[in-house]
Amino acid sequence: MRTDTGQVFRLEDYRASDYRIPELEMTFRLTAEETRVTARLQVERRADATPQTPLLLDGDGLVLEALEIDGAPAAPDAYEATPDSLKITRPPQRERFTLTIVTRLAPADNKALMGLYLSNGVYCTQCEAEGFRRITYFLDRPDILSVYRVRIEARREEAPLLLSNGNPVESGDLGEGWHYAVWHDPFPKPSYLFALVAGDLSAVRDRFVTASGRTVALAIYVEHGKEERAAYAMDALKRAMRWDEERFGREYDLNVFNIVAVSDFNMGAMENKGLNIFNDKYVLADPDTATDTDFANIEAIIAHEYFHNWTGNRITCRDWFQLCLKEGLTVFRDHEFSADQRSRPVKRIAEVRTLRAHQFPEDQGPLAHPVRPRRYREINNFYTATVYEKGSEVVRMIRTVLGEDAFRAGMDLYFDRHDGQAVTIEDFLACFEEASGKDLAQFALWYHQAGTPHLAVSTRHDAESGEFVMDIEQSVPPTPSEARKRLMHIPLAFGLVGPDGRDMTYQSAEGAEVEDGVIHLRKRRHSVRFTGVRARPVVSLNRGFSAPVTLSVEQPRSDRLFLARHDSDLFSRWEALNTLFTEAAIEAAARIRGGKAAEFEADLLSMPAEIAADESLEAAYRALALTLPGESDVAREMGTNIDPDAIAAARDALRTAIGRQGQATFAEIHAALQQHGRFSPDAESAGRRALRNVLLDYLAAAGGPELAARQFQAADNMTERAAALAVLAHQFPESEQTRAALAAFEARYRDNPLVLDKWFTVQATVPGQGTVDRVRALMAHPAFSLTNPNRVRALIGAFASFNQTGFHRADGEGYRFVADTVLAVEAHNPQVAARLAVSFRAWRSLEPGRREEARKALAAIAGQKQLSRDLRDIVERTLA
């Protein structure tokens, strides 16, 4: 474990290295307890560096066995080695020399899952961000690009399969049961993209012919017996490869593309050059074991990692402050891919829900940071929703500001100009400025300034003069270490909706640049004056979620109801209804806290049945429109003094009221949507299942558990089975039907850990006081393991992030339990522990009693003498 030294890394301290390592040859002799790594580095001193400059290589917990300089053993006074660094104190005076470094590793003991480790008997690596230094001493920074040649030796029986990056060049027998393979990757790459896999796995093979006619051999490696569950991932891969050619003109560049699924992985997946390594959760799927959401995630993540080949690998980051250069851009690309493969409006709504659920609380809490941070203590803690999701929104806004054609021209220029380089956000933006002739200086603040901007809007209409005025004021709230904010360039898409529900035209607009339905806000206040507007329009703002901002619009409730029925922009139509639901829940929560009963307006309660039956809308869209804002969405809108019990009671009351009001319609549609024939994971079929499942939730709230129990029994696919199980467990935790369904599910999937994760999660998210004990008991279940990140996230992570009434139990028991578990995980996997600790980030917005309990739990973690850099960084920033 890397303990914290308090060191802070700063963007302004970036310096190019005095040395380069253009080539690297590695030999791995693999055994679980003692793996020997020989690394031969071709080192080159930069022309402008002084010859005596020591060469300082990074390490992390390494054991140095031998060191040679230019083929001769290094003199003891020529270097200084510790587990965490290797300093060549007297480097040769030549411009070029070789270093041969031998290190010894114990993959079987590596439970941090960084560097070389074993997952279910398979050797695999994870090097981003700083895992390569756990394998050998190196200049482990993304601006050092090397050509790798990798030789792997292993016992054939243990590891018939030997993979690394690039193309295979040689393999053979070594006698005594050992064999070897050599891989060569012609594309210079940073060390974080290095990968090795060795083990006994099955291959699912296919081929892809690129636009220019080259054939690429594709393979997805999975555990024996799971081959069929990789078919969907393979299909998604081929679609992603074609799409990147068509939409971005990007072709694949090696002869092989390999994907390996492993069961122990800290994150979702990793884009190692030519050898993507995946959490098996994002590869394996079939109708019996995966939900529609699982299928969609697999499609998106397969595409994401593949797209990194150009945005990340061919063009990489100069330093880790630039992480969004590859991540924000690649998320934008995978979002566009999914939007093209599925329904664009539905995809957009889902993106915005994710952004609000994960990025908004980050931006509005103690862990807020700019999309491109200026400082960090532990880079692992910056793989955040801000870098990824907000980073993607910023790229989307560049496209909005430039228009489709100039955006594509800017991307082309970026690929042309920077191929093979490690670059910065400034380099990226310069390409768009040059391609469009537009100045993006103010726009660039989206990268540099943390916090979610807020827009306050009011409108006036004068029927006689036909003038419609929008007064808009922007503000950016202060965030940690950024008290004062500068004014931003916010592209605000809008529409003026006329009485007939159609968009109105206007003669002129002044007071801001208004172009193609977008107002470009650049000042604190704009008074935007439209002429030629005879009837009073209902204004629809931030259409398509053109900017990641919060909005308050002075608008009568009747206008929102009107937009919820008529807005031609489907995102904004959803948004109007979502806002109405949220407001209703907030009001009801206040009444419940005041000892009164919840009450709702009749016109809101009747809307869901109207929408459910509206066949002009696709089923997936109707499902989203009917999905109530979650308890944490309501809490976020309330802002302070949060009482999760009152919010949960209010939301339950709203669900029951809607369920009763719409019961007849819902029941009819639920029955009609029952699927006949073969399961298909396509978007349209998935949409019908989603709608059916939302309706089930309402019907159960109004009518009891029977229908859910029947759906659970009759289901022939995981989407309907898991949804029915969740309705039973969450609405009727004590019922006989729930007990029976949980037992049946467990018995059926006893041997399938990924599916049992769903069983853990559904129980961890049962609302109420009793769940802490239930989760504690489940930790003793034979399928649970504290060293497998998927298990930890499914049980403990789900409890801490998605169980508002359980985690926030008023007596603090939820907090104490999670804090204890964070420390238990910390002992072997600091990265996963730190992520779990993030669930405390909203503690200051709680009502005083809970706030104090949460603070005490955090302080108990912070009070530990020995903490990893990962966890210390999170708890100290959260408490600050």
The window from 195-203, 265-273, 351-359, 685-693 that contacts ligand 0A1 (CB under 6 A) reads: 265-273
Q: How many residues bind ligand 0A1 (CB under 6 A)?
A: 12
Please report the DSSP string for 312-338 in residue order: TTTBEESSGGGHHHHHHHHHHHHHHHH
For tokens 């690129």, the residue is 210
Choices 95-103, 250-258, 260-268, 474-482; region in contact with ligand 0A1 by CB under 6 A:
260-268
List the x/- string, 286-325, binding to ligand 0A1 by CB under 6 A.
Answer: ------------------xx--------------------
State the nearest-atom distance from the C-beta of 327 to Zn ion, in Å. 5
Long-range contacts of 661-668 (CB under 8 A, 24+ apart): 661/605, 661/606, 661/608, 661/609, 662/605, 662/606, 662/608, 662/609, 662/612, 662/698, 663/698, 663/699, 663/702, 663/703, 665/609, 665/612, 665/613, 666/609, 666/612, 666/695, 666/698, 666/699, 667/695, 667/699
Question: Which residues lie across from 828 on neighbouring strands?
Answer: none
The distance of Cα 242 from the centroid of its chain, to the nearest Å, equals 24
271 binds ligand 0A1, rule: CB under 6 A: yes
- The residue among 312 and 814 lying less far from Zn ion, judged by its C-beta, is 312
User: Which of 203, 231, 267, 667 forms a contact with ligand 0A1 (CB under 6 A)?
Assistant: 267
Report the residue number, 270 or 628, with the smaller CB distance to ligand 0A1: 270
Sole window of 268-276, 489-497, 706-714, 775-783 interacting with ligand 0A1 (rule: CB under 6 A): 268-276
Closest Cα partner for 111 from 134, 79, 85?
A: 134
731's contact among Zn ion, ligand 0A1, none, with CB below 5 to 8 A by partner kind, is none
For residue 307, the minimal CB distance to Zn ion (Å) is: 8
* Of 128, 140, 826, 853, the one binding ligand 0A1 by CB under 6 A: 128
Residue 353 CA to residue 779 CA, distance in Å, equals 31
Residue 285 binds: one of Zn ion, ligand 0A1, none (C-beta under 5 to 8 A by kind): none
Q: Is residue 327 part of the contact set for ligand 0A1 (CB under 6 A)?
A: yes
Q: Which is nearer to ligand 0A1, 303 or 786 (CB)?
A: 303
Partner from Zn ion, ligand 0A1, none contacting 542, C-beta within 5 to 8 A by type: none
Q: Please report, as residue ranges, which positions from 328 to 357 form the binding site for Zn ion (by CB under 5 A).
A: 330
Encoded tokens for 755: 């599916």
Residue 2 CB, nearest distance to ligand 0A1 (Å)?
Answer: 14
**How are strands ordered across the β-sheet holding 64-69?**
72-73, 64-69, 96-105, 35-45, 19-29, 146-155, 178-189, 167-175
**Number of alpha carbons in the 13 Å side-chain half-sphere of residue 338:** 24
Q: Is 270 a residue that touches ligand 0A1 (CB under 6 A)?
A: yes
Stretch that binds ligand 0A1, among 133-141, 264-272, 527-535, 603-611 (CB under 6 A): 264-272
The residue (of 112 and 669) whose beta carbon lies closer to ligand 0A1 is: 112
Query: In this structure, what token pair is assigned to residue 3?
Result: 């303990």
What minimum distance in Å lies between the beta carbon of 364 and Zn ion?
24
Residue 327 or residue 351: which is nearer to Zn ion going by CB? 327
Residue 9 contact, options Zn ion, ligand 0A1, none, Cβ 5-8 Å cut-off depending on partner type:
none
List C-alpha distances in Å: 740 to 246, 591, 780. 50, 37, 21
Bridge partners of 173, per DSSP, are: 179
Only one of the segments 158-166, 266-274, 368-376, 450-458 lies at the binding site for ligand 0A1 (rule: CB under 6 A); that segment is: 266-274
Residue 14: Cβ within 10 Å count = 14
CA atoms of 169 and 149, how far apart (whole Å): 9
Q: How far is the CB of 133 from ligand 0A1 (least distance, A)?
A: 13
Residue 839: burial class (beta carbons within 10 Å; 0-12, 13-18, 19+): buried
Using CA atoms, how far residue 109 sits from 162, 206, 275, 333, 606, in Å, is 21, 35, 24, 37, 59
Would you tell me how many other CB atoms lie within 10 Å of the CB of residue 501?
13
Smallest distance from ligand 0A1 to CB 359, Å: 15
Residue 266 sits in the site that holds ligand 0A1 (CB under 6 A)? yes
Strand order through the sheet with 275-279: 202-209, 215-222, 256-262, 275-279, 269-270
Dmax (CA) for the chain in angstroms is 95
Nearer to ligand 0A1, 14 or 383 (CB): 383
Q: In 3D, which of 512, 539, 507, 515 has the Cα closest to residue 528?
A: 512
Spatial contact of 341 and 299, defined as CB atoms under 8 Å apart: yes
Give me the catalytic one of 223, 305, 336, 393: 305
- Collapsing DSSP states into helix, strand and coil, what is residue 878? helix
128 binds, among ligand 0A1, Zn ion, none (CB under 5 to 8 A by kind): ligand 0A1
618 contact, one of Zn ion, ligand 0A1, none, CB 5-8 Å limit per kind: none
Neighbours of 848 (CB within 10 A): 8
Minimum Å distance from CB 129 to ligand 0A1?
Answer: 6
Asked if 764 and 748 count as a contact pair (C-beta separation under 8 A), the reply is no
Asked if residues 315 and 297 have their Cβ atoms less than 8 Å apart, the reply is no
Interface region with ligand 0A1, contact rule CB under 6 A, candidates 172-180, 262-270, 313-321, 798-806: 262-270
Measured from the CB atom, is 270 or 658 closer to Zn ion? 270
When the beta carbons of 389 and 853 are compared against Zn ion, the nearer one is 389
Q: CA 689 → CA 77, 184, 616, 718, distances in Å?
A: 70, 46, 17, 11
Q: How far is the CB of 36 from ligand 0A1 (least distance, A)?
A: 24
Judged by beta carbon, residue 362 or residue 569, the one nearer ligand 0A1 is 362
Shorter beta-carbon distance to Zn ion: residue 312 or 537: 312
**Near ligand 0A1 by CB under 6 A, which window of 136-144, 263-271, 419-427, 697-705?**
263-271
Considering only residues 269-328, where is the footprint of Zn ion by CB under 5 A?
A: 327
Cα–Cα nearest to 632, from 849, 348, 360: 360
- Rounded to the nearest whole angstrom, what is the least distance from the CB of residue 835 to ligand 0A1 in the complex? 10
Which residues are CB-neighbours of 235 under 8 A, at least 6 positions away? none
Any contact of residue 479 with ligand 0A1 (CB under 6 A)?
no
Site for ligand 0A1 in 379-408 (CB under 6 A): 383
Give the Cα separation of 284 and 304 in Å (integer).
16
Q: How far is the CB of 838 from Zn ion (least distance, A)?
A: 19
Indicate if 34 belongs to the active site. no
- Helix, strand, coil distribution of the chain in percent, nearest 5: 45, 20, 35
Considering the complex, what minimum distance in angstroms separates the CB of residue 284 from Zn ion?
A: 20
Taking the CB of residue 13, how many other CB atoms lie within 10 A of it?
9
Quote the least distance from Cβ 312 to Zn ion, whole Å: 7
Nearer to ligand 0A1, 271 or 351 (CB): 271
The interface with Zn ion within residues 228-257 (CB under 5 A) comprises none
Contact at 8 Å (CB) between 634 and 589? yes
413 scored as a contact of ligand 0A1 (CB under 6 A): no
Name which of ligand 0A1, Zn ion, none residue 622 binds, using a CB cut-off of 5 to 8 Å depending on partner kind: none
Taking CB under 6 A as the criterion, the residue among 35, 38, 126, 788 binding ligand 0A1 is 126
Phi then psi for residue 736, to 5 deg, are -65, -40
CB of 829 to ligand 0A1, least distance (A): 10
Q: Which is nearer to ligand 0A1, 269 or 669 (CB)?
A: 269
Nearer to Zn ion, 330 or 829 (CB): 330
| Phi, psi (rounded to 5 degrees) for 767 | -65, 155
Sign of dihedral through CA atoms 688, 694, 700, 705? positive
Residue 149 three-state SS: strand
Binding site for Zn ion (CB under 5 A): 327, 330
Q: Which residues are catalytic?
A: 305
Binding site for ligand 0A1 (CB under 6 A): 126, 128, 266-271, 304-305, 327, 383
